[in-house]
Amino acid sequence: MSLLRDLVEPECAEPNALGGFVQQFTSKNTGLYHDQWERDGRERFYQQHGEEFDESQFDEYFNAGGDHLHHDDLDAMLNRNMMRDHPQHMMYHGDEELFMHGIGEHQSSIPKEKHSELQHFFKDFISSSQSHHLLPSINLGDLGLSKLEKNIIKSRSEVLFRQLNEVKDPGYESDQLHRLIDALHIEEDNFDDLEEHWGSTVNNGMFNPPQQFGEEHQYKQEYPDYDEVEQDYDEAYENAIEEDVYDDEWDKITGEDDPFEDAWINGEDRSVDAAWDETARKSLTEITESITRINDPKLKRSNFMKLMNQLHSGDAQIVGNTLVHNNEQQQHTSEPHLEDIGDSWVNDYSGFTDTVSDERLRMYQFTINESRPEDTFEAGMDLFNQGLITDAIITLESEVMRNPENSEAWMYLGIAHAENDKDQQAISCLLKAIDLDPTNLKARMALSVSYTNDYQKERALETLEEWLVGNPAYSHINFSAIGKEEEELSTFQDTWKRHRHTSEWFLEAARQRPNEPDPEVQTALGLLYNMSYEYEKAVDCFKAALQNNSTDYQLWNKLGATLANSNRSQEALGAYFQALEQKPSYVRARSNLGISYLALNMYGEAAQTFLGALAIHPEAVHIWDNLKMVFRLMSRDDLVTKAERRDVNDFVNDFKFIEKMSFNPSTMSASWSPNVLPLNPPNTKFRCDYVDLKDYLVYSRKANDYFLYEINKIKSFNECQDVWDRLNTVSNLRLQLIDNCIGTTENEISQLTPQNKDELRQLRHKLNLLTMEKDVETVLQSSAKKTFHKICK
Amino acid sequence: MKRFKTNFNGYSVEFSPFEEQRLACATSQHFGIIGNGRQYVLDVLERDIVPYRVYDTRDGLYDCTWSEENENHLASASGDGSIKIWDTMAPSGERPLRSFQEHTKEVYSIDWNLVSKEMFVSGSWDLSIKTWSPRADMSIRTFKEHRYCIYSTVWSPRNPYHFASVSGDTSLKIWDHRDNRSLNTIKAHDNEVLTCDWNKYNEKEIITGSVDKTIRIWDIRLPDRPTSILRGHSYAVRRLKCSPHSDAMLASSSYDMSVIIWDRSREDPMLLKMDHHTEFVVGLDWNMFIDGQMASCSWDEQICVWNLGRVPPQQQQQFHHPLPPHHQMPPRP
């Protein structure tokens, strides 16, 4: 018996002063349930449950004692639970009424009538926090909360508050929490210790994610693959240790001595004043909001409403007793003369520096230690234009290290990183460039692209808007008027609304030049449609942008990516080839091309392309991952293992990717004209060399893809027929060649004796490859047919 | 849609893995900020939802999970740092079978292991994760790496040792029960991550939801970036549950008071947006036995159970292909 008593769970803690109604069940309790059970509970239990339970079973448990327990502790516990006494004055017979009322009636320190008040108070707190308004000052009177309860309220509200709002606003947060605390009469000194506790964890972890210091990337390169970790726990442990080392390093960086952090704290005043300003602005917003909600159309057009809207959206501010319009508004109220435009928008633009907040100006992680004098901006640009991106990055880094005020150098450094598929780095460089020269539109456009790639849609939209507002060519459009009726500019609650809004701006800008589309506006629209998954429209925009700008390799790549995203990988190939023709060292286009090959199940080509990209930019982890995926799909585990070493030179014998790189782009483009099919087919009648055949196929298919792309330009039906005939002939020729080769190989196999195991295996492998090649060709042919039918109709 | 009115604000709802009609719901008074808690066990009948058992606790309950080894047992996570095991054979108002008091702050999440069925995991605001056995008196292991409150801990559906945790420190961590250091850390979002779940058909895929309103889908082998992002909620995503019947379907509930059903095999993944609650929707679950049946609970003190109806045929084919061949990175403009 005593053994069972020991098992009574420790549920006898002090009842909570607020609710405490559990105590109603245990008011007589001393934790000694089984004493009661022994006294009278047993009989009562049988009265209730006797029919369900066999008495002898109980006796068995009781008498067997500990011996029985270890057989199945849980079952024993279950039975023990059955035997427990019921709450004395609350025999539960499904009497819901009695039960529910328990809360208000019993021992709660909060008066019953205060319960709904408290509920409403918390509700107010939650809804006001969510909509970023301050809780009105309420006095709830004395609720008789204990110190512990107040602490609990304080800490839980704080955690809850963080879940409610995406935007981190320390000033607002502390104000709102203070309102809550005041209303509940929680004394300030009460939570000093709590602040310490909760505060410390917050400051350490949340708002300074390590990625700010460009470290995450480094760390990911070390452990990009989870697969191995899973198989090897020792290794996992090692990794975890090293991870901790990084953590430590990070702690060091964020330590007090860090000049960046110091600058951050000192430079931008985030002190009490800032918090007060913020509060003042908030309450102004609050006042004006109710007014701006008025729907009377007459009143809406009134100046008062305009002012209120401006105040509400932050376009205008009250400073002292005067009204100050912010730059955006000023821009179109003071109709500028054509000559002045340049100047005026430069001035107006100064406001945009504010949009690059310090938080976003992250530290750029240099790859070099010190700048070399011979690496000038010009040298960097030369390298960049030649397509030697990695070298260009080093040179430009030299330049910006020596000359950190050079906005243009920062911009090209950013663009170079973006071309190397490193958007995070690109973003920090481009932000720097914009910070130094807010008029740098090219940098803004590049930044929005990088944000899009980095899935930071909100920021991409913001940057696009800034680009448009800052563009002198469109300074005459009154942007704030567009879409203003539907929603408030400053209170963007969700990205989609904002997206719609930004799109409207750009459509308006596009309408200004209907006959001669501005490639940049079209590009921006293309990006916007990409974000909203409207790929058809995006394709049209990029094509329009390419009309006047057909040598822009980045545009070709964007077009390709959009086509690929809308499941038109076949067409995407053509666009990527165009991009690579303009700039053979363009890593992003290469990796995208590989992905499209992968989507078309052309694994060999995909691997070749990825290797080509890696030869230029060997540190690109995600390309290595893609490459490994290709090898897995090819069932070439040997190559997967090889890829772990991350050395492209290992693959020189497996794939011909190096030569591809050294192709001269000019000869390539000449040979890819739709009228000429390059490279004579290998003679496979007598001898079948797979490598030769493969080379021909790859080359010939590329021409095929280019054909498909060219076909879009064809106008008349006859022309179409002509091209199709030619294409079909070539495609049939390829099929014929493969068939021949398969025949030859089968012949060879049949001539071999089973003793020649190695040779036989090799031939079988070749046969497999050839069959796959045939499949690919059939797929290509049928998809080409489809495209043709669509276009020629 | 069947509804049940609870007395407190709903925090978590779970279908029993043994009985198709049984449902557990953890609730808290005053939105869980202060006050008592109540664990409901309900039966979903033909017409309506009726209470089967009701148990009360001193502090609010934030999460609950059914035992996978005993159909009568249920564990709930309490605000006072304790974990209670309930025996639903015991009458209403009864005290818990066991109470584990080790966490020093609110326990916000609890999950029972689906494979190694004698184990469950809990995540707490004291920044620690603990694994437990209902038979042992103390926790089996403690995992401390997160830098802020842990909001969700979920076991892998296939691997008996792996579990994932997400936290207010914006990270997602993958753990092996046998190793007290995490296997992998993914910086999943820019804001607090409130919830995560494993794809039931792909043990390499984890889905996270965050205060930044997005749902991100991660291949844990590619910690670099999510394989895709789902957008549609206008406030924090509070709970995510992957369908037990399809690899492409998942459901999310949010502080924008809506529930969204997603089907990733569609071009527009948002299948359905439901606005049947009038307050934050905090709890969500799929019924394992009845394809398409779901339950949600909310701070409006309602528990709702509904059937999704027929899934369009082209999606149904997906059910027969549980594992997508590979995750392909989208090309980047």
Q: Give me the CATH number covering residue B154.
A: 2.130.10.10
Chain A residues close to B146, C-beta within 8 Å: 205
The percent of residues above 70 in pLDDT, for chain B, comes to 92
Question: What is the model's pLDDT at position B313?
Answer: 37
> Is the CB of residue B333 less than 8 Å away from at least one CB of chain A?
yes
Q: Residue B1 corresponds to which tokens in the numbers above?
A: 């849609």
Across the interface, do B223 and A220 touch by the CB < 8 Å criterion?
Answer: yes
Cβ(A473)–Cβ(A339) below 8 Å: no
Question: What is the model's pLDDT at position A253?
Answer: 44
For residue B12, being part of any structural domain is answered with yes
Closest chain B residue by Cα to residue A207: B169
Across the interface, do A240 and B170 touch by the CB < 8 Å criterion?
Answer: no
In the three-class reduction of DSSP (H, G, I as helix; E, B as strand; rest coil), residue B306 is classed as: strand
Chain A residues close to B30, C-beta within 8 Å: 118-119, 122
Chain B, 130-159: which have a CB under 8 Å from a chain A CB? 134-135, 146-149
CA distances in angstroms from A8 to A12, A31, B72, listed in the order given: 10, 8, 19
Closest chain B residue by Cα to residue A119: B30
Chain B, 230-259: which have a CB under 8 Å from a chain A CB? 231, 234-236, 238, 255
Chain B residues close to A592, C-beta within 8 Å: 331-332
In the three-class reduction of DSSP (H, G, I as helix; E, B as strand; rest coil), residue B53 is classed as: strand
Question: What is the model's pLDDT at position B282?
Answer: 94
Query: Which residues sit opposite B50 in a β-bridge?
Result: B43
Q: Domain span at residue B86? A: 2-320
Nearest to A463 by CA among A442, A492, A484, A437: A442
Helices and strands: H and E segment counts in chain B? 1, 28
Q: ∠ CA A279-A282-A286 to the nearest 5 degrees?
A: 140
For residue B331, being part of any structural domain is answered with no
Task: Calculate how close chain B gets to A339, using CA atoms only, in Å.
Answer: 37
Work out how many domains chain B is built from and give that number: 1
A373 Cβ contact list (under 8 Å, min separation 6): none
Chain B residues close to A560, C-beta within 8 Å: 331
Cβ(A163)–Cβ(B194) below 8 Å: yes
Question: What is the model's pLDDT at position A187?
Answer: 67
CA distances in angstroms from A656 to A607, A622, A660, A692, A694, listed in the order given: 10, 21, 7, 11, 10
| Mean pLDDT value across chain B | 87
Question: What is the model's pLDDT at position A494?
Answer: 62
For residue B325, being part of any structural domain is answered with no
Closest chain B residue by Cα to residue A455: B229
Closest chain A residue by Cα to residue B255: A164
Q: List, run by run, the mean pLDDT of 10-residue segments along chain A (793 residues).
A: 35 36 34 36 46 41 38 46 37 36 40 74 82 74 77 85 77 82 69 42 37 37 39 41 46 42 40 44 48 44 48 48 43 39 40 44 71 81 79 86 86 86 84 86 88 79 85 76 53 66 85 80 87 82 81 85 81 82 80 84 83 80 83 82 82 64 36 41 61 72 66 69 78 82 82 78 79 77 75 68
> Is the CB of residue B267 less than 8 Å away from at least one CB of chain A?
yes
**Confidence band (pLDDT; 50, 70, 90) for B332?**
low
In the three-class reduction of DSSP (H, G, I as helix; E, B as strand; rest coil), residue B237 is classed as: strand
Question: What is the model's pLDDT at position A309?
Answer: 53
Q: Which of B29, B36, B169 sits opposite A205 (nearest CB)?
A: B169
Task: Calculate how close chain B gets to A681, using CA atoms only, in Å.
Answer: 33
- Highest average pLDDT, of A739-743, B167-171, B224-228, comes from B167-171
Q: Which of B90, B95, B211 sits opposite A163 (nearest CB)?
A: B211
Query: Which residues sit opposite A54 in a β-bridge?
Result: none
Closest chain A residue by Cα to residue B148: A201
**Confidence band (pLDDT; 50, 70, 90) for B47?**
confident
For residue B68, being part of any structural domain is answered with yes
Across the interface, do B33 and A96 touch by the CB < 8 Å criterion?
Answer: no
Q: State the ipTM, two decimals.
A: 0.82
- Dist. CA A210–CA B170, nearest whole Å: 11
